Structures are given as structure tokens and as C-alpha cells.
Copies of this chain bind each other. A is one copy, B any other.
Amino acid sequence: MPPVDKLLLEETLQDSPQTRSLLSVFEEDAETLTEYTNKLLQSMQRVYGAQNEMSIATQQLSKQLLAYEKQNFALSKGDEEVISTLQRFARVVDELNSLHTELAKQLADTMIFPMIQFRERDLTEVSTLKDLFLLASNEHDAAMAKYSKLPKRRENEKLKSEVVAEVASARKKQHQTSLQYYCALNALQYRKRGAMLDPLLGFTQGQINFFKMGVEMFSKTLEDFLSSVATMVHR
């Protein structure tokens, strides 16, 4: 089969076997995409969850470092130095926490949110329209079956015109539904690439910002502090 761009809306009225066959290809693609999207979203949510947990964990660690001062150690000799050093470490952990919190927020906004939106909006729309399309097709088939079973005699003119009206109405409804369904399937193909790649752009951009800010934060001053602590501990 040559590559296909989209379902042609003008084919919906005739509803030929060829069109139906092409439709089934788009439907299969949409199903595969739905399954893959769910798994990818799960993986992304796990990364986001870990990032969030890191944000909470660093916050708790900082609190715990500050809590040293409130322990009322029975022997407090030399504790002022330990307390002030722990306070400085708590500031480091706080700054790290702010980086982690910022990254978690960015991942939520630029990775998780677009992915969920794609699932809730585009994929769900296709799935809903598929149901409506099937319903309308069945109604149309039922009307057609009724029509084909009509007795040929003349005295049934009134019944006949009623069934013809029913067929026309069902056909119209099916046509409208298929127009919407085909449009949604075409839109899905159009959005597929962006839906997969945009969240990863967000993810990577978030990491770049995180590392840039991290390097700025962990400056020369901090390395000086660390060597003074190392000296203090091992003297």
C-alpha cells in the first residue's frame, strides 16, 4: 500500500469497501498510538514522580539539619561550630530543593500536561467518535434491512415512504458522524509527531535549565566552604 496522508472526506458519502478498508488502517494506527501513549505517559509519570519525591526529600533533609540545634544535647561543647556548619549545609540543601522543585514544576507543565492533554482530548475524541460512528452505521444498516424487506404491493405506499424517510435520515446521520470521525482520525495523524516529541523537548529543556542553575549555585564559594569543613572534621 502506498503511504496515505489522510482519509478523504468526500469518500464518506459513498462509503465504499475501499474507503472502509482504508478507515480500518487508520483505526488500527490510532489503537497502537493509544496503547503506546499510555505506556510512554506511565514512564514519564514515573520520572516526574521521582523528581517530585526528590523535591520533598531534600526539603525534609534541610529541616532535619536545622533540627540539630533544637536537640538540647547534654554536652554542648563545640556545638556552635557544628550548628553553624549544619545551617550552612541546610542552605545548600534548600537551594538544591528549589532547583528540584522548579524542575518538577517544569516537567509537570511541559512534559506531563501536554501528554495527558493529547490523551484526554485527541485520543479520547477518536474513541468517542468511533462509538458514535458504529452506532450510526448500525442504525443505517437496520433501516436498509427494513427497506429491503418491504412488500412490493401498491397498498403499502405510506409504509414505504416512511421507511424511505427513515433510511434517508439514518444515512444523513451516518454521513455526518463519519465526517467528524474521519476529521478526528486525520487530525490525530497530524498531531502524532508533535504529541510524541513536544513533551521530550520540555523534558530536555527542563534538564538543561536544571544543570545550568545547578552549576551556578554550586560555585567556588561553596567549594571553599567544603574544604574548610573537611579541615574542621579531620583536624
Contacts and interface: CB of A to CB of B under 8 A. Distances in A.
A46 B57 contact: yes
Q: How many copies does the complex hold?
A: 2
A26 interface: yes
Contacts of A234: 194
A90 B28 CA distance: 26
Nearest to A53: B50
A39 interface: yes
B194 A75 contact: no
Contacts of A226: 201, 204-205, 208
A82 B193 contact: yes
A205 B227 CA distance: 10
A10 interface: no
A14 B78 CA distance: 29
A126 to B, nearest CB: 13
Contacts of A205: 226
Contacts of A73: 29, 32-33
A23 to B, nearest CB: 11
A152 to B, nearest CB: 44
B82 A64 contact: no
Interface stretch (A116-124, A161-169, A171-179, A212-220): A212-220
A77 B25 CA distance: 12
A129 interface: no
A76 interface: yes
Contacts of A147: none
Contact of A200 (B39, B71, B89): B89
Interface of A: 3-5, 25-26, 28-29, 32-33, 35-36, 39-40, 42-44, 46-47, 49-51, 53-54, 56-58, 60-61, 63-65, 67-68, 71-78, 81-82, 85-86, 89, 92-93, 96, 189, 192-194, 196-198, 200-201, 203-205, 207-208, 210-212, 214-215, 217-218, 222-223, 226, 229-230, 232-234
